[in-house]
Amino acid sequence: MGAPMARHLAAAGHSLTVYNRSPAKAREWVDRHGGASAGSAAEAADGADAVIACVGADRDVEEVTTGPRGAFEAMAEGALFVDHTTASARLARRLAEEGEGRGLRVVDAPVSGGQAGAEKGALAVMCGGSESAVAAARPLMEAYSARIVHVGPAGHGQLTKMVNQICIAGVVQGLAEAIHFAKAAGLDTAKAFEAVSGGAAQSWQMVNRWETMERGEFDFGFAVDWMRKDLGLTLEEARANGSRLPVTALVDQFYADLQAMGAGRQDTSSLIRRLEP
């Protein structure tokens, strides 16, 4: 995700220093797009007006921000930090508090749209943070985003991403069952989905994934392993706020089945594999 987002920033005229914990990836990006690479997050952040991160999970965010040689130790007062990682709301709030103590502006800004959205510069971004921090981040995020919404204070971006994943989990499972049923009933699936995709059942997942799901193609970027991480954060938050998510919890276990089948790196639409002989 980070590589195409950085590419759009460079194309928009921004001067970038990139850091990746796999140094070869950073060097390869610089060879293709220019700019400079750094040996640590702190080195990349030194002298920067803004630092943008897109890593894997809470521990990764902590490593590149407040860990040894993390970005926060090198960022100047008034600098902006934007985190596009899907992480916990708890961590987002803590980073905002720590950033404020250092004179930094911090935005938790998880994204939706997957690898394809990043490549096209058409991501949807849900932002948590102060009005001034989000306003400062918006011109940068516009380089790779189609929709940017400030949803509330620190942590609310991450909570909104959980809403996103709750919606996706149920929709993909429903679509998998619909394809499975259509085939078992002997329907012409192309005709069936041409019919239903024009009505109330239509969804992004249906339009973009039913054909590839039927063909058994599951290489579209957002892996089962990452979805389980996201749903784990969501279910943890639900336990804390008292909300009940029975469908989400069930689909999380279906994704665990896929991991047991060795499909952890396949994309989330591979749910249909559980239903196929």
pLDDT band at 116 (very low <50, low <70, confident <90, very high): confident
Q: Output the pLDDT for position 130.
A: 97
Q: Are residues 148 and 172 in the same domain?
A: no
Q: Is residue 25 flagged as an active site residue?
A: no
Residues 35 and 172 both lie in one domain: no
Question: Same domain for 131 and 41?
Answer: yes
Number of domains in the chain: 2
Place 255 in a pLDDT band, splitting at 50, 70 and 90.
Answer: very high
What is the average per-residue pLDDT within 229-240?
Answer: 97
**Does residue 221 register a pLDDT over 80?**
no
**Which residue of the set 25, 161, 183, 229 is catalytic?**
161
* Domain identity same for 177 and 213: yes
> Percentages helix, strand, coil for the chain, rounded to the nearest 5?
55, 10, 30
pLDDT band at 101 (very low <50, low <70, confident <90, very high): very high
CATH of the domain at 110: 3.40.50.720
Summarised one tens digit per residue, pLDDT across range 147-200 is 999 999 999 999 999 999 999 999 999 999 999 999 999 999 999 999 999 999
Cα–Cα distances in angstroms (integers) from residue 38 to residues 21, 25, 55, 164, 243, in the given order: 10, 11, 16, 33, 43
Instruction: Give the confidence band of 115 by pLDDT, cuts at 50, 70, 90.
Output: confident
Indicate whether 237 and 135 sit together in one domain.
no
- End-of-domain residue from the set 154, 178, 200: 154
* Lowest mean pLDDT, pick from 28-32, 115-119, 135-139: 115-119
Regarding whether 150 and 187 lie in a shared domain, the answer is no
Cα end-to-end distance, the chain, whole Å: 33
Do 26 and 143 reside in the same domain of the chain? yes
Q: In 10 A of CB 11, how many CB atoms? A: 12
Same domain, 15 and 101: yes
Quick one: CA dihedral 198, 204, 208, 211, positive or negative? negative
Residue 39 tokens, joined: 């040996």
Domain termination residue (choose one: 101, 128, 154): 154
pLDDT value of residue 170:
96
- What pLDDT digit, counting tens, does each position of 13-42 carry? 999 999 999 999 999 999 999 999 999 999
Residue 264 sits in a domain whose CATH number is 1.10.1040.10
Asked if pLDDT for residue 129 goes beyond 80, the answer is yes
**Are residues 33 and 109 both part of a single domain?**
yes
Same domain membership, residue 216 and residue 143: no
Q: Using alpha carbons only, how large is the chain's radius of gyration in Å?
A: 20
Query: What range does the domain containing 148 cover?
Result: 2-154
Please tell me which residue, 116 or 106, carries the higher pLDDT value. 106
**Domain boundary, last residue among 100, 127, 154:** 154
Nearest CA-CA partner of 268 in 189, 195, 208, 178 = 208
pLDDT at 53 over 90: yes
**Same domain for 148 and 163?**
no
- The token pair at 107 is 């935005």
* Pair type for strands 123-128 and 111-112: antiparallel
Residue % of the chain over a pLDDT of 90: 96
* Amino acid present at 148: I
Whether residue 135 is found in the same domain as residue 87:
yes
Contact assessment for residue 87 and residue 233, using Cβ atoms and an 8 Å cutoff: yes
